[in-house]
Amino acid sequence: MIHFVILISRQGKVRLTKWYSPYQQKERSTVIRELSGLILSRGPKLCNFVEWKGYKVVYRRYASLYFCMCIDPDDNELEILEIIHHFVEILDRYFGSVCELDLIFNFHKAYYILDEILIAGELQESSKKAVARLIAAQDSLVETAKEEAGSISNMISQAI
């Protein structure tokens, strides 16, 4: 089971956090501090895994962004590495050549996507197409709602 997902930049800035196991706000800060110290200092050729307090943290670096997932000691690290990649590929498809800035400004969208990939710390959908379809369906519904709102506000502004 995945206990949490953290995205941190090379400077140690938090870009996204999602906790599947209960952690208090204080614990969260400690975890992030400890892990960023541990992971950001690792050289490029070393393992993408870190053993940490009886758990394992699998991380993968994309440009200047680190995707980290904390898992149980008996989970398959290589699989988690690919789950991270799966997530990034879906982000990439959604945003169109995703970059760190997309995630910074649209972190809530990244959350929606993550929610379609992982539920309760498990991979719920391994088909990119299925995820993309669902997200698109949700977005289109939001879009139509927005258009409606837009036309109303137009009418109002015309009335004024």
Partner 1 sequence: MEQLKTIGRELAMGSQGGGWTGQSKEFLDLVKSIGEARSKAEEDRIILREIDSLRRRIAEPDVPRRRMKEYIIRLVYAEMLGHDASFGYIHAVKMTHDDSLSLKRTGYLAVTLFLSDDHDLIILIVNTIQKDLRSDNYLIVCTALTAACKLINEETIPAVLPQVVDLLAHPKEAVRKKAVMALHRFYQRSPASVSHLISNFRKRLCDNDPGVMGATLFPLFDLITADVNSYKDLVISFVSILKQVAERRLPKAYDYHQMPAPFIQIKLLKILALLGSGDKQASGHIYNVLGDIFRKCESSSNIGNAVLYECICCVSSIYPNAKVLDAAAESTSKFLKSDSHNLKYMGIDALGRLIKINPDIAEEHQLAVIDCLEDPDDTLKRKTFELLYKMTKSTNVEVIVDRMIDYMISINDNHYKTEIASRCVELAEQFAPSNQWFIQTMNKVFEHAGDLLNVRVAHNLMRLIAEGFGEDDEGADSQLRSSAVNSYLRILGEPKLPSLFLQVICWVLGEYGTADGKYSASYIIGKLCDVTEAHLCNDTVKAYSISAIMKICAFEITAGRNVEMLPECQSLIDELSASHSTDLQQRAYELQALLCLDSQAVESVMPLDASCEDIEFDGNLSFLNSFVQQSIEKGARPYIPESERSGTFSVSNYNSQYQHEASSHTLRFEAYELPKPSPTPATPQISVSTRTTDLVPVPETTYYYTENNQASKLPPVSDASSADHGIKLHLDGVQKKWGRPTYSSSSSSTSSEKKTNGVTRIDGVSSPSRGTLYDSKGQQSEVSAEKQKLAASLFGASAGKTEKKLASTQRAPKATTATAERPGVTRAVSPEISKQKAASSPPPDLLDLGEPITTTTPTIDPFEQLEGLIGPTPGPSTLDNSVTTSEQKAPDLMTLYTDTPPSSNSSISSALGDIHSSDKNSQMAKNVPSIKKGPNPQDSLQKDATARHVGVTPTGNNPNLFRDLLG
List, in sequence order, every residue forming a beta bridge with 139; answer none if it has no partner: none
Q: Retrieve residue 66's tokens.
A: 């680190």
By CB under 8 A, the count of residues binding partner 1 is 85
3-state SS, residue 55 = strand
Nearest distance in Å: CB 48, partner 1: 5
Evaluate whether 107 touches 15 at the Cβ level (below 8 Å). yes
Residues numbered 115-154 forming contacts with partner 1, rule: CB under 8 A: 115, 119-120, 122-130, 134, 137-138, 141-142, 145-146, 149-150, 153-154
| DSSP per-residue string spanning 23-47 | --HHHHHHHHHHHHHHHHTS-TTS-
Residue 83 CB contacts under 8 Å (≥ 6 apart), including other chains: 2, 69, 117, 118, 123
- Nearest approach in angstroms of CB 143 to partner 1 is 9
Q: Binding string, 48-87, against partner 1, x = CB under 8 A? A: xxxxxxx-----xxxxxx----------xxxx-xxx-xx-
40 touches partner 1 by CB under 8 A: no
Minimum distance, C-beta of residue 69 to partner 1, in the bound complex (Å)? 14
Site for partner 1, residues 4 to 23, rule: CB under 8 A? 9-11, 13-14, 16-18, 22
Among 4, 70, 72, 91, binds partner 1 (CB under 8 A): 91
Burial code (b: 16+ CB inside 10 Å, e: under 16) for 112-124 equals: ebbebbbeebeee
The token pair at 34 is: 């400890």
Q: For the CB of residue 135, give the shortest distance to partner 1 in the complex, in Å.
A: 10
